[in-house]
Structure 1
Amino acid sequence: MTHMFQALDQGDEQDPQYNDAVQFSPGRYRIHPTHINTTRPPPSPGEVNERTHLLLGIKPTKNQFQEWINVTWKRTLILNVFPVAVVLAWCAVPFPTYVPSNTIKHFGFLNDINIFHLPNHDDNPVEINFWFFLFFYYGFYNAIALLMVTKMFDLYSLNWWPKWLGGYFAYTVFWLLSLISGVIIYLYTSLVKYNLTWVLLTFITMNMPLLVGFIVIRGQTNRLNYRRSLTLHQKTFFDRRQLRNPLPKSYVRFLWFCFTLFIVIAAFIAGEAYAYVFLTTPEAHSGVDAFVYVYSWLATIYILDAVTEYIIESRVKSYPLQFTFKLYFFMIYFIFYRNLFARLRDPDQYILIQAASSLWVCIFYPLCMTRTVHKNLVCYIGLRKDYDEYKKQCGRSFFIRNLAENATMLGFICWICIIHYGPNYEVYPYFKFIEEGNPFDFNLTLRMSGIIWAFELASAAITRTIFGKVFKHSISKDAVKDFDEHPEMVVAMIVIIIHVLQDMLMALLNLNFKDALGSKHKP
């Protein structure tokens, strides 16, 4: 283990050695032993331990992990049901709400259940308690978002994080700073009522670790140059300019990681804007509108996913990050697609968008796995993977798609029921359906969502059968191997699913705070 750290430490900073050290094996990245300069002195006590995980306690034991991944139903519970259950419990906790006359309307289950659907006849929506929103609703949402970024640093492994700062301390400070900023926004601005304000605040919070990491790495000038103990070969073939101010590979790799993570975080800002344009508009949309919405957003997601995957594979060289980033993008696509169902008015609209989706799955993925497509990609696009590696990549993509597909549909069906029949009915106007006189129907949405999910499960089963019979490839067994080799991915995937589901609900919450600056009902 010590030798591996030394190889990483020195190899990252010397181009030939680093390129030989990090190699791609079928479906995975491994660190292979290379020549180590034994004359190099050991790292000084003040040097950063780049392999240290930031939050060590949030990791399953080896025995727990083996139980999770090797049993199908347990794996389903951990990756699909558990993160959805966390989000449902979060959104089911009742908000303290007030009618515009400033008298309390209800708080949880302390009042009679009949008032849960008591209509608000005032022209203004009910008001919610800001401090409950800040410390519980937004606080938990922001904590998960920050945890997701932290787990990305853990997957990256070489995190350049200062040991003196510590993972738990930094996490707590960043989280508290976001809440303090929220209080300032509430007390001194009128921006508190906009969902985008809180989304941007979370965006800034998630980028704080990147900013601190970048400042630290720039401050360590000794890390931005080659070690003084150069080999005779290096002294002979490197000119003086190269020896005076070269950029180590680990530094460049970290910059690429920061850039990619910034794109990933910014993607949910784009998703919020896209949802605002389509989902929150009061008028009904046609089936063609829904079709364009779904597949324009799908194209955006595929482009972002392709860009990040290329950077991670060719520059950062981290298989776990490839896996989790792809899950993130699939989750973003599917959760916005699911919430579209609440704005469709008849079965024909559901059939139109789902028929294309099912055909896409059953035709596109098996077609992509053929040797002909692989050969064309090698010849015309410059793909460097052999066919076995490429086949595993296609299977991995489909496995992640299935995971995101099922988690988002389970979450959507459950939370429309919880919100529709629960205490938070009036703070989510998007899910009020026909009760408020709009043309949307709760029963139709629920029924058609269940039918669509059945079709998705059927199309997934057909595609998996084609993979097994025609290509002799089991995507589930291959995923289990990935989890066994990279167990840290499991926690990161759970956090990603929770964050994206929360992000959608956060975008649809009606932020009308009692006594907020600019409120019409201030005493």
Structure 2
Amino acid sequence: MYHLSQGDELDSQYDEDQYVQRFRVHSTLSSREMINSPISPVEPDERTHLLQASRKQVRSWTSTFLKRALLLNVFPVLVVLAWCAIPFPNNNPYDDPDKNISSVDYIKNNFLAYNSSLNDTDSSHLPAPNSEPVEINFWFFLFFYYGFYNAIALLMITKIFDLYSLNWWPKWLGGFFAYCVFWLMSLAIGMLIYFFTGLEKHNLTWVLLTFMTMNMPLIVAFIVIRSENRNTYRHSLTLAQKTFLEPQLLHRIPTSYLRFLWFCTTIFLVIIAFIAGEAYAYVFLVSPETHSGIDAFVYVYSWLATVYILDTVTDYILETKVRSYPLQFTFKLYFFMIYFIFYRNLFARLRDRDTYILIQAASSLWVCIFYPLCMTRTVHRYLVCYFGLRKEYEDYQRQCGRSFFIRNLAENATMLGFICWIIIISNGPNKSVYPYFKFEDDLFDFDLTLRASCVIWAFELASSAITRNIYKRVFNHDITREAVIDFETYPELVITMIVIIIHVLQDMLMALLSLNFEGGNAAKPRP
């Protein structure tokens, strides 16, 4: 069943430890030579059959700058924009139901030939604007909005298992069927919450339900491995071993099982980061009060410190315990994405140009100084001497370059997403269900937010170009070329990256959605 169980019980066939050293000789090879060489990694024997890509496809997708930008930046953003732009069926107590195309009564009147009593209601009896929150249709939210969001979250975990070359579902159940079953289970629990509790109006409820959904594969994989005794040393013993070494060998744990436990630990840390990000959004972004420039500065860099700590811990575990290069790549992208997406949405609550300048000046200086400084041999020697770094300088150089490439990818995807959805939401039919993007308060200016965001993006692109130029001229290192070779070597990496980008962008919008449902237990009168 498991790819990890083939061959030696104590080790994985998909062992990055031996591969990484050989892979790093690719600086003298072209990408095509690298892919066709015998030192390429062993392909996993089992696949999820969910969004696979071959090396030939990935080579075609990433062959030019334009194709890479469309695939990794534009396409995920378009998916998220389409998801959040579809109008929520709603009942707005202060809108004319015959003019509001997203209202439930409009849909009934025009598509179902339903005569609503609101047609005969005098507009003078309607509540004053903004006196009551908009009521959205729960079933649209559950099956389309939350359903798609939850499906992407479960798919992200499945693709991460793919990179580890491990199927999380029982063999008899099958990959696609198991995925559908657990997705439908989460929606069924959402229905029970709606009918029997008063918790459906809280964003945290749906965050925790997604947290549970993302943990299901870990629990199932752990149970199946334990049931198949993959956690015990099962090699047959000779007579001499049984006589003298049996007590010691019985307590030995296979290396593959230990690696699996570390792998589960890193996924759990990733999900914890997801919860922490939602908490940050609730405390700072969704709070109604305005924030000063100092508040924003503290928010950004406290969140930055949190993300860097979690990223450092997971990167260390993946490199030393799990030994998986593609997992290091994808998890670093995840942490950069959750930092930048919360940083971007802070712009919608800044009130003056000075605040934007303060935040962006610190960010640009950080990029242009910190990243080239980290690339130097002096810093490498310091890390070797005082922090026990065991990488050769060439490997360390590639690690720094990879980190900067992922940072650029997260920067561009999140800024493109933010600029597009403030335009679409603030001027579209879902404006009422995303009060964060209304910009109706005199303190917050849509034009200022849009212009300042575009200027900040231009500065980020400039600082990125400067840093890349420093890498090429001073360190003779092309981070784009290295990334393309990684994509062609690990074709599953590209699909996983796209799913991660979509998931994190959806996280932010999910946190900012105003949940006020028609009916449900929360709407029932209390005694």
TM-score normalised according to structure 2 size:
0.87
- Determine which of 7, 11, 14 is the counterpart of 2:8: 11
Residues 291-370 of structure 1 mapped to structure 2, 5 A cutoff: 291-370=297-376
* 1:107 Cα deviation from its structure 2 partner: 3.8
1:75 corresponds to which residue?
A: 68
| Residues 206-231 of structure 1, C-alpha deviations (whole Å, 9 max, x = no match) | 1001000001111112x333343458
2:290 corresponds to which residue?
A: 284
For residues 238 and 485 of structure 2, the distance between their equivalents in structure 1, rounded to whole angstroms, comes to 39
* 1:346 Cα deviation from its structure 2 partner: 0.5
* 8 Å contact from structure 2 (residues 401, 479) kept in 1: yes
| Residues 218-271 of structure 1, C-alpha deviations (whole Å, 9 max, x = no match) | 1112x3333434589x94998222322321111111111111101101211100
Residues 14-93 of structure 1 mapped to structure 2, 5 A cutoff: 24-25=21-22, 51-54=45-48, 56-93=49-86
Which runs of 5 or more structure 2 residues have no equivalent in the other structure? 27-33, 111-125
1:201 corresponds to which residue?
A: 209
For residues 502 and 300 of structure 2, the distance between their equivalents in structure 1, rounded to whole angstroms, comes to 22
1:163 corresponds to which residue?
A: 171
For residues 386 and 237 of structure 1, the distance between their equivalents in structure 2, rounded to whole angstroms, comes to 45
With over 3 angstroms needed to count, the CA separation of the structure-2 counterparts of 1:507 and 1:19, relative to structure 1, is closer
| Residues 53-100 of structure 1, C-alpha deviations (whole Å, 9 max, x = no match) | 22x141124432211111110011000000000000000000011024
- Residue 214 of structure 1 pairs with residue 254 of structure 2: no
* 8 Å contact from structure 2 (residues 135, 518) kept in 1: yes
* 1:127 Cα deviation from its structure 2 partner: 0.5
Give the % identical residues.
Answer: 65
* 8 Å contact from structure 1 (residues 341, 449) kept in 2: yes
* 1:158 Cα deviation from its structure 2 partner: 3.4
- Residue 140 of structure 1 pairs with residue 148 of structure 2: yes
2:113 corresponds to which residue?
A: none
1:115 corresponds to which residue?
A: none
For residues 159 and 281 of structure 1, the distance between their equivalents in structure 2, rounded to whole angstroms, comes to 41
* 8 Å contact from structure 2 (residues 16, 324) kept in 1: no
- Determine which of 248, 273, 280 is the counterpart of 1:274: 280
- Residue 404 of structure 1 pairs with residue 428 of structure 2: no
- Residue 131 of structure 1 pairs with residue 139 of structure 2: yes
| Residues 13-38 of structure 1, C-alpha deviations (whole Å, 9 max, x = no match) | 169x98985664455999x99xxxxx
1:385 corresponds to which residue?
A: 391
Give secondary structure in 2 for the equivalent of 1:13. coil
- Residue 191 of structure 1 pairs with residue 199 of structure 2: yes
| Residues 450-489 of structure 1, C-alpha deviations (whole Å, 9 max, x = no match) | 0000000000000000000000000000000111111110
- Residue 375 of structure 1 pairs with residue 381 of structure 2: yes
State the aligned residue count: 491
* 8 Å contact from structure 1 (residues 102, 521) kept in 2: no
For residues 485 and 189 of structure 1, the distance between their equivalents in structure 2, rounded to whole angstroms, comes to 49
- Residue 485 of structure 1 pairs with residue 468 of structure 2: no
For residues 261 and 161 of structure 1, the distance between their equivalents in structure 2, rounded to whole angstroms, comes to 16
Give secondary structure in 2 for the equivalent of 1:424. helix
Amino acid at match of 2:385: C
* 8 Å contact from structure 1 (residues 18, 249) kept in 2: no
Amino acid at match of 1:372: T
For residues 241 and 333 of structure 2, the distance between their equivalents in structure 1, rounded to whole angstroms, comes to 45
- Residue 245 of structure 1 pairs with residue 267 of structure 2: no
For residues 20 and 146 of structure 1, the distance between their equivalents in structure 2, rounded to whole angstroms, comes to 28
Give secondary structure in 1 for the equivalent of 2:200. helix
For residues 510 and 195 of structure 2, the distance between their equivalents in structure 1, rounded to whole angstroms, comes to 21
Give secondary structure in 2 for the equivalent of 1:77. helix
2:117 corresponds to which residue?
A: none
With over 3 angstroms needed to count, the CA separation of the structure-2 counterparts of 1:207 and 1:120, relative to structure 1, is farther
- Determine which of 446, 457, 464 is the counterpart of 2:461: 457
2:435 corresponds to which residue?
A: 429
With over 3 angstroms needed to count, the CA separation of the structure-2 counterparts of 1:23 and 1:405, relative to structure 1, is closer
| Residues 411-466 of structure 1, C-alpha deviations (whole Å, 9 max, x = no match) | 00000000011100100000111x2x341010000000000000000000000000
- Residue 224 of structure 1 pairs with residue 217 of structure 2: no
* 8 Å contact from structure 1 (residues 369, 394) kept in 2: yes
TM-score normalised according to structure 1 size:
0.88
For residues 18 and 81 of structure 1, the distance between their equivalents in structure 2, rounded to whole angstroms, comes to 34
Which runs of 5 or more structure 1 residues have no equivalent in the other structure? 34-48, 113-117
Amino acid at match of 1:11: D
For residues 226 and 76 of structure 2, the distance between their equivalents in structure 1, rounded to whole angstroms, comes to 37
* 8 Å contact from structure 1 (residues 68, 75) kept in 2: yes
Amino acid at match of 1:439: L
Q: Which runs of 4+ in 1 moved over 6 A?
A: 17-20, 109-112
For residues 177 and 220 of structure 1, the distance between their equivalents in structure 2, rounded to whole angstroms, comes to 25
Give secondary structure in 2 for the equivalent of 1:515. coil
1:262 corresponds to which residue?
A: 268
- Residue 445 of structure 1 pairs with residue 453 of structure 2: no
* 8 Å contact from structure 1 (residues 254, 316) kept in 2: yes
* 8 Å contact from structure 2 (residues 55, 488) kept in 1: no
For residues 138 and 191 of structure 2, the distance between their equivalents in structure 1, rounded to whole angstroms, comes to 9
With over 3 angstroms needed to count, the CA separation of the structure-2 counterparts of 1:479 and 1:20, relative to structure 1, is closer
Of 279-288 and 145-154, deviating more is 279-288
| Residues 362-404 of structure 1, C-alpha deviations (whole Å, 9 max, x = no match) | 0000000000000000000000100000000000000000000
For residues 342 and 237 of structure 1, the distance between their equivalents in structure 2, rounded to whole angstroms, comes to 72
**What is the root-mean-square deviation in Å for CA atoms of aligned residues?**
3.0
With over 3 angstroms needed to count, the CA separation of the structure-2 counterparts of 1:461 and 1:291, relative to structure 1, is same
* 8 Å contact from structure 2 (residues 94, 127) kept in 1: no
| Residues 122-143 of structure 1, C-alpha deviations (whole Å, 9 max, x = no match) | 5221100000000000000000
With over 3 angstroms needed to count, the CA separation of the structure-2 counterparts of 1:220 and 1:520, relative to structure 1, is closer
